[in-house]
Amino acid sequence: MSRWRPTPAEERWLEVASGLGAALPRDPLAARTGGWRGTGLLARLALFVLGFVAAALLFGILGFGNRINLLVAGLIAVLVAEWLTVRKRLHGSGIEEGLCVAGFLLIGAWITTLIGPEADVIGATPQTLVLIVAAGAAGWRRLNPLVTTCAGLVFVHWIGSTTAAYALDEVIGHGATTVAFGCALAALALALGAREFRRPSHDRMLDWLVATLPVTAYAQHAAWSFNAGGFADVGVPSGRLATSLLLLALGTALLLAGLRRRRHAPLLGFMGCVACLAVEFRFATALATETWLVFCGLAALVAGVALDRYLRQPRNGLTSVALTGRDDPLDLLQTAGAALLAERTARELSPPEPAFTPGGGRFGGGGASGSY
Amino acid sequence: MHTLEPELRTLHAEGVIDDATAARALARDRGQVFSLHAELRATLYVGVLLVMAGVGIVLARNLDRIGPLAIVLAVALIAVAFAVPAVRAKLAGRALTVTSDYLLLLAALLGSANLAYAERQFALLGPLWSWHLLLLAVVHAAIAYAFGSSLVLAASLTALAGWFGVGGTAGDALRFSYSSPELGARALACAAVIAAWRYADRRARPDTRFSDVMDHFGTNLAFWGTITWCLEWPWLAAGLPLLAAFSYASVRRGLDVGREVFLVYGTVYAAIGICAAALPRLHGITTSLSFVLTVVCVTAAVLWLFRRRLREPAP
């Protein structure tokens, strides 16, 4: 039994308790979980934000002007997080995670002030690397896959911003180095994911990298292409081809691994690769944007309909039907998503307001009634 | 990869979980049963999003080439085509699948786009053009009830909120600095309409599945309106008691039905409202930040305590 964080055995029992929910009485597990206490996903997110904000406010109260306050605020935040962990046995509750991440970042920010000028924290500088390491260390300490993944993603972009990467990009195409490095890292995480881990959190850290790396690594390449006009004559053709082949190979590997291991992360990574390939297809052709959007949308809908029909009756254990009614966050996300779509449609296609409305009192219109 | 099979077998051997629960959990752990429901939802959502984005551009760019009447008719035909799977399920007496639900949402959104476009081109409602949002809310609600679609109901509630002049998405919660008491009153009026609608729906159909969607919309709109009132005197006098009442009701509901999202609404919105009310009246950066830090700490502690009292529903 550890005072600092759950042992692998305790973490596994916590995972069992989380998976079975109310079907499992709490008392029989109390001793096995080591008394560690957590929350649900939504409360954890809210508490994470509150913890992070609390640490930032602490720095504000101590004073933004003095650099040493970064260290003091960071240390206080980390100590409070550790106190909550050791004395209150909090694990994965959000508040100690938010405090710890903010604390590590504040300490990292203080270290960056010792390295060089404040202006150099953007781009491939040692200062940025210090912040990435700080975030990664906080995520590792808290066994939090969200934080380690964020650190991993920023690290990939940091690699893509180095002088060596820029030199390489001149030869193989802009952003191609980031794509290659991101895909390599995703492939490595996928390979490591085949091993059996004692800690579910370690498994999840790799899963998140597998799911998110392809899209985020490609984003830098896509952003450059978009800014440059985004058509076939932009960039190095061989670089475009290499990027497409890389995404195709990784996507295939992710799909096969996801189906074989029955894991969501590789399948989500595969979907990301398909999305990247669709964008690459848009850049490689002179297709009109609206045609491309409708074509890709219809393709996604057809794929969804086919998948739903094919798997409505389970095949080899695969099914398109929900296995549990306990998907509250997903339902909430779906409702919010539908509302967002409806609002976008209404906003984009609303009839125009009259250009001049005497006494209308709207900002930018004719007349004034005091509201803006 | 990891497997929790030894732990699940231990629990089953000790009689802590019954045979059925153990069998289900083991089958999922081994991957003998694996659902692609989440991936399917994501794919369909992206499909709807892309098609709507594309159609929006088509409507904006190709007016001169095709002509407004042809566009309206074409989009209407496409919308009807997307509604076919839902109609077939309805005629066969089946519940909507996730696919037909999303296609029905796409049909409804295409209908919205078409109506807005027709209104823009032909000025059907004249100076009452903003009423097309209310019309949309009613039409979408009728479709939602006809097919039992929560997604289309969300579109209806968004249109209703739009008609009241308040946004129906979380992004609007971040625009407090541009808010006015009138906007708050409109948000509260909209929340009241949704609450009355929910009450009537529940009375008419005790087994309704729409209450959750209405709860989320009504709660968020009520809190946004109340927080807007907390920004200015004399609205503050009504805003703070309302904030306390809504927070209590939200937390009470969360504890009663075992939904932590309502605990989050009740505590976090209360914290934002208190800060919105107090900060303009505090002087000095240190005092203000100290006050906010105190509120944040108290909120975290209260949320944690409420969450501990919550019993999650069974899977």
Give the pLDDT score at A368.
38
- The C-alpha atoms of residue A182 and residue A189 are separated, in whole angstroms, by 10
Q: In the prediction, which pLDDT does A25 show? A: 74
B181 & B314 share domain: yes
B39 lies in the same domain as B139:
yes
- Does any CB of chain A come closer than 8 Å to the CB of residue B20? no
pLDDT of amino acid B167? 64
Query: DSSP characters for B35-93?
Result: E-HHHHHHHHHHHHHHHHHHHHHHHHH-HHHH-HHHHHHHHHHHHHHHHHHHHHHHHTT
Here the tokens at position A77 are 């935040």
Range list of β-strands (E), B49-121: none
CA–CA separation, B22 and A177 (whole Å): 48
The answer to whether A19 contacts B21, with C-beta atoms less than 8 Å apart, is: no
Q: Looking at the structure, do residues B123 and B197 belong to the same domain, yes or no?
A: no
Task: Tell me how crowded residue B67 is: count the other CB atoms within 10 A of its CB.
Answer: 12
CB A81 within 8 A of CB A96: yes
Q: Which residues contact B213 (CB under 8 A, 6 or more apart)?
A: A335, B150, B153, B154, B157
d(CA A369, CA A357): 12
Same domain as B182, residue B314 = yes
Interchain pair B315, A51: CB under 8 A: no
Cβ atoms of B44 and A297 closer than 8 Å: no
Q: Match 């100076």 to its residue by tokens.
A: B127
Q: Which of A70, A139, A73 is CA-nearest to residue A109?
A: A70
Last residue of a domain, one of B163, B190, B220: B163
A342/B109 CB distance under 8 A: yes
Domain's final residue, options B163, B190, B224: B163
| B170 belongs to a structural domain | no
The reported pLDDT for the residue numbered A362 is 39
Inter-helix orientation angle A68-88/A95-115, to 10°: 150
Chain B residues within 8 A of A25 when measuring between CB atoms: 16
The pLDDT, as a whole number, for residue A232 is: 46
Residue B90 CB partners (closer than 8 Å, separation 6+): B146, B147
Q: How far apart are the CA of B30 and the nearest CA of chain A, in angstroms?
A: 8
Nearest to B306 by CA among A93, A325, A331, A78: A93
Q: Residues of A numbered 74-133 whose beta carbons fall under 8 angstroms of chain B's beta carbons: which are they?
A: 93, 95
Asked if B151's CB is within 8 angstroms of A334's CB, the reply is yes
Residue B313 within any structural domain of the chain: yes
Per residue in B38-77, pLDDT tens?
899 999 999 999 998 888 888 777 766 777 788 888 888 8
Q: Is A41 exposed, middle or buried (0-12, 13-18, 19+ CB in 10 A)?
A: middle
pLDDT digits (tens, 9 = 90+) for B174-224: 455 556 788 889 999 999 999 999 999 999 988 888 988 999 999 999 999
- What is the span of the domain harbouring residue B149? 35-163
**Which of A39, A289, A350 is closest, CB to CB, to B57?**
A289
Residue B171 lies in a domain: no
pLDDT, one tens digit per residue, over B102-153 is: 999 999 999 888 888 887 777 777 777 778 888 889 999 999 999 999 999 9
Mark yes or no for CB contact A39/B113 under 8 Å. no
Among the candidates B163, B187, B222, a domain finishes at B163
Any domain includes B200: yes
Which helix (H) or strand (E) is A177 found in, with range? helix A176-192
> In this structure, are B128 and B153 located in the same domain?
yes
Number of domains composing chain B: 3
Same structural domain for residues B30 and B4?
yes
- 3-class DSSP state of A366: coil
Q: What is the ipTM of this complex?
A: 0.87
Task: Compute the 3-state secondary structure of chain A and give helix, strand, coil in percent, each to the nearest 5.
Answer: 70, 0, 25
Q: Look up residue B184 and give its amino acid.
A: G
Using CB atoms, which residue from A16, A296, A331 is nearest to B4? Answer: A16
Size of interface A-B (CB pairs under 8 A): 302
The structure tokens listed for B41 are: 């939802």
Q: What is the pLDDT of residue A366?
A: 36
| B284 and B212 housed in the same domain | yes
Listed residue (A160, A296, A258) closest to A218, CA to CA? A160
Return the pLDDT at B172. Answer: 52
Residue of B3, B17, B19, B52 for testing the chain A interface, max A β-carbons within 10 Å: B52
| B169 falls within a domain | no
| Cα torsion B53, B56, B61, B67: sign | positive
Query: Which residues of chain A are within 8 Å of residue B105 when distances are taken between CB atoms?
Result: 338, 341
Residues 51-70 of B with CB under 8 A from A: 51-59, 61
Mutate: best of A12, A48, A59, A293, partner B, most B CBs <10 A: A293
Our CA-based measurement puts residue A242 at a distance from the nearest CA of chain B, in whole angstroms, of 26
Same domain, B4 and B48: no
CB within 8 Å of chain A, chain B residues 220-279: 258-261, 263-264, 267-268
> Which amino acid is residue B228, in one-letter code?
T
The predicted model gives B17-25 an average pLDDT of 87
Which A residues, 296 through 315, put their C-beta within 8 Å of a C-beta on chain B?
Answer: 296-301, 303-305, 307-309, 311-312, 314
Q: Are residues B218 and B306 in the same domain?
A: yes
Q: Among residues A113, A90, A89, A98, which one has the least CA distance to residue A55?
A: A98
Does residue B172 fall inside a structural domain?
no
Q: What is the pTM of this model?
A: 0.87
Question: How deeply is A370 buried, as exposed, middle or buried, from its count of CB atoms within 10 A (0-12, 13-18, 19+)?
Answer: exposed
CB-nearest partner of A200 from B2, B180, B264: B2
Residue B254 pLDDT: 92
- What is the C-alpha separation between B182 and B200, in angstroms, rounded? 27
Instruction: Confirm whether B168 is domain-assigned.
Output: no
Crossing angle of helices B211-229 and B181-204, rounded to 10°: 160
Output the pLDDT for position A220.
Answer: 79
Backbone angles phi, psi at B35, to 5 degrees: -100, 135
- The verdict on B133 and B262 lying in the same domain is no
Q: Are residues B222 and B293 in the same domain?
A: yes
Closest CA to A336 of B170, B237, B67: B170
Flag whether B296 is in a domain.
yes
Residue A335 has its nearest CB partner, among B17, B123, B213, at B213
Predicted local confidence at residue A363, as pLDDT:
36
* Predicted confidence (pLDDT) at residue B248 exceeds the cutoff of 80: yes
Residues of chain B contacting residue A350, judged by C-beta atoms under 8 Å apart: 116, 120
pLDDT at B209: 84
Cross-chain residue pair B217–A194, CB shorter than 8 Å: no
User: In this predicted model, what pLDDT tens digit does every residue of B258-308 receive, in sequence order?
Assistant: 888 999 999 999 999 999 999 988 988 999 999 999 999 999 999 999 998
CA–CA separation, B262 vs B269, rounded Å?
10
> Torsion angle, CA of B15/B18/B24/B28, rounded to 10 degrees?
-20
B182 touches chain A (CB under 8 A): yes
Contact flag A42-B261 (C-beta cutoff 8 Å)? yes
Which residue is listed with tokens 């848009």? A282
Give contacts of B 155-174 with A, CB under 8 A: 155, 157-159, 162, 167-170
pLDDT < 70: residue spans in chain A: 1, 26, 117-123, 228-237, 325-328, 346-372
Q: Are residues B47 and B93 in the same domain?
A: yes
- Residue pair A33/A17 in contact by the 8 Å Cβ criterion: yes
Between CA A321 and CA A324, with CA A323 as vertex, the angle to 5 degrees is: 130
For A351, residues 6+ apart whose C-beta sits below 8 A from its C-beta are B116, B119, B120, B123, B129, B132
Give the whole-angstrom CA distance, residue A189 versus residue A210.
Answer: 6
Question: Which among A24, A289, A309 has the least Cβ separation from residue B16?
Answer: A24
